[in-house]
Amino acid sequence: MTNPLLPDWNTPFGLAPFDQVKDEDFAPAMDHALAAHNAEIDAIATNPEPATFANTVEALEAVGKALDKVLGVFFTVAGADSNPAREDLQRAFSPKLAAHFAEISGNKALFARVAAVWDQRDTLKLTDEQARVLMLTHRGFVRAGAALSGAQEARMKEIKGRLAVLGTEFTQNLLADEREWFMELSEDDLQGLPDFVIGAARAAGEEKGAAGPVVTLSRSLIVPFLQFSPRRDLREKAFRAWEARGANGGKTDNRGIAAETLSLREERAKLLGYENFSAFKLETEMAKTPQAVRDLLMQVWEPAKAQANADAAVLTQMMHADGVNGDLAPWDWRYYAEKRRAAEHDLDEAALKPYFQLDRMIEASFACANRLFGLEFKPLDVPLYHPDCRAWEVTRKGQHVAVFIGDYFARGSKRSGAWCSAMRAQAKFPQVQSPVVINVCNFAKSDPALLSYDDARTLFHEFGHALHQMLSNVTYESISGTSVARDFVELPSQLYEHWLEVPEVLGEFATHAKTGAPMPQEMLEKVLGAATFDMGFQTVEYVASALVDLAFHDGGAPADPMAKQAEVLAEIGMPDAIRMRHATPQFAHVFSGDGYSSGYYSYMWSEVMDADAFEAFEEAGGAFDADRAQALETHILSAGGSQDAAELYVAFRGRLPGVEALLKGRGLAA
């Protein structure tokens, strides 16, 4: 028990003792936790008493706590602060964990007990929440292959293990390509770049050990470089490197991994009796069918493409006026769009950015949560896994609610993107436990740290996920927080983005980094007026990715995913100067695991709801209407997966939404 990962943590709020954990602690702790979980599962499966909800389904909710602790710490640092030792461990752990959980889901004695409880469900007098947990548990076993036997059962275990390995390799290859490439900039190369980009490039150069400023493949640095650099040759070089991630040949190439992953997913679905992987995956989502997903995406695609093509014509004229002949290229779009935004909306990103200080935007996200839900945030001085991290205790009316951790800055050891995870989820069984929630972002580091408007939206988005975890109020961990349908999970996060656009929020928290002065009213109006600027581009790059993801899984697995990607883009008429937001070799949402596979559409599905949900506030008493806030917490944020997602939304809104509010919100309505 000298391993710091294993005993009860006698720390503030039971937080992981990050200052005591060493990389060499993970493997023995994992072995111990797996063995303990196996013993707990065996005790449930071999219980001589007749199967009941309490001694089978509820018992499953109570076990695996040691494993949860180890995995919570390990996957936090593996994603946000990786190193070669942690990458080796992740490669070793992935097949081991896949085999472990496949063994549980394939445990015939255990499944027989779950099935026995399921068969008695109408006579058990369960609460609604218990009935939901029973249904999800039984369905989870069936979908995992518990009803398979013989060669099919053995093959399912092989597939799961291989998919776990492939997902880890995909993620690590992408991280390696992002970490290893950078472009050094001379002082002349900095001409035309605003101070905040230059500062971020210098900080990135220091982090890389370069002699001067550099551009990296971190989105928070490369996107503003593409927006502002007048050097078309450098923009092209940087964009091509960004586009080539995961497709450079050699050991980090992800194209073969993508093909094998899709093939194995199809085989897995067919073993379970489904026509294809998309039919299997969408069965448990709000959308239910691939056709429902395609119908939604195409309703949005056509007006978005029309807007993007119109915008491309304007940007091409601007480029020609600059003396650059030929067609508008992907590395030109952001540069000329930024110039157009400055001209049409008189909005200069360089002048705007000092008003979006990271610390002030954190304060803004907290202040909105306070007004809506009564939450208060007090800084904590506790050991965390990286010096950049910070923590707060979250309370309401003096009562502890959660611990929130923020890890905001890009670094080479962190995978790209932004995410929210719970190191400990809320539950009341087998004992009360409060959540420990982390937001991880990749903002460019500078002093003071300044965000783009898009960065600020990302911060609010991830904090919306955090609220879903922190305000969860259910009995069982398996339905806690964000344990909901994939196409429902983005509703709270995307809905929370709307509060960044509330004028009084910007008026209070968008203050200048040097003078402290609030954003001038004229600039604030321009920011809000430009909220739908370039939305054709943004919608096209997203919807194209979602349609390719759907095509990969709705039918036979393509032998050559890159050829399939090209085929889909040609069919839908992808504008030449726009690329998918996530091309196949970089599509971690889809290929690092099953989470968003055949599910990347879910952001759009959720946006249909979030646009409609925010309209509910506007129709009531405004953005901070107390009754709507209470309804949002009661029916969505606190409910977790305790009911079907559609039922939860109808309970909040009174009806299901249509696509009209989304198109209006994106400025794409006719």
Q: Look over the chain and give the mean of its residue pLDDT values, rounded to a whole number.
A: 96
On the question of pLDDT at 20 being above 80, the answer is: yes
Query: Under a CB-based contact definition with an 8 Å cutoff, are residues 500 and 456 in contact?
Result: yes
Residues 94 and 225 in one domain: no
Residue that is written with structure tokens 């919100």 in the block = 665
pLDDT at 553: 98
Main-chain dihedrals φ then ψ at residue 357, nearest 5 degrees:
-75, 140
Residues 506 and 610 in one domain: yes
Catalytic: which of 462, 490, 497, 541? 462
Among residues 570, 600, 630, the one where a domain terminates is: 600
Q: Taking residues 445-460, report their average pLDDT.
A: 93
Whether pTM exceeds 0.95: no
Tell me which residue of 454, 473, 472, 452 sits closest to 462, measured CA to CA.
Answer: 454
Length of the chain: 670
Q: Taking residues 405-422, report their average pLDDT.
A: 94
Residues 218 and 279 in one domain: no
- Catalytic: 462? yes
Omega into 430 within 30° of 0, i.e. cis?
Answer: yes
Cα 614 → chain centroid: 21
Question: What CATH number does residue 41 fall under?
Answer: 1.20.1050.40
Q: Does 7 reside within a domain? A: no
Beta bridge partners of 357: 450
What confidence tens digit (pLDDT) does each residue in 641-668 have?
999 999 999 999 999 998 888 898 899 9
Q: Does 299 reside within a domain? A: yes
Residues 131 and 77 in one domain: yes
Q: Taking residues 109-132, report their average pLDDT.
A: 97
Tell me which residue of 303, 336, 333, 297 sits closest to 666, measured CA to CA.
Answer: 303
Residues 389 and 419 in one domain: yes
Q: Does 657 reside within a domain? A: yes
Pairing state between β 399-409 and 436-443: parallel
574: number of Cβ within 10 Å:
23
Residues 298 and 237 in one domain: no
- Number of structural domains (the chain) is 4
What confidence tens digit (pLDDT) does each residue in 267-277 have?
999 999 999 99
pLDDT at 350: 86
What confidence tens digit (pLDDT) does each residue in 221-243 have?
999 999 999 999 999 999 999 99
Question: What CATH number does residue 552 fall under?
Answer: 1.10.1370.10
On the question of pLDDT at 631 being above 80, the answer is: yes
Q: Does 504 reside within a domain? A: yes
pLDDT at 1: 58
Q: Does 161 reside within a domain? A: no
Among residues 98, 121, 147, the one where a domain terminates is: 147
On the question of pLDDT at 9 being above 70, the answer is: yes
Q: Does 162 reside within a domain? A: no
Residues 59 and 112 in one domain: yes
What confidence tens digit (pLDDT) does each residue in 43-57 have?
999 999 999 999 999
Residues 581 and 607 in one domain: no
On the question of pLDDT at 336 being above 90, the answer is: yes
Residues 380 and 515 in one domain: yes
Residues 362 and 446 in one domain: yes
Q: Taking residues 362-383, report their average pLDDT.
A: 98
Q: Does 171 reside within a domain? A: no
Q: Does 271 reside within a domain? A: yes
On the question of pLDDT at 492 being above 90, the answer is: yes
Amino acid at residue number 179 = R
Main-chain dihedrals φ then ψ at residue 342, nearest 5 degrees:
-65, -35
Residues 221 and 280 in one domain: no
What confidence tens digit (pLDDT) does each residue in 271-294 have?
999 999 999 999 999 999 999 999
Omega into 561 within 30° of 0, i.e. cis?
Answer: no
On the question of pLDDT at 670 being above 80, the answer is: no
646: number of Cβ within 10 Å:
14
On the question of pLDDT at 603 being above 70, the answer is: yes
Q: How far apart are CA 206 and CA 219, in angstroms?
A: 18
Residues 485 and 373 in one domain: yes
pLDDT at 346: 86
Percent of the chain at pLDDT > 90 equals 93
Amino acid at residue number 421 = S
Domain assignment of residue 205, given as a range: 181-245
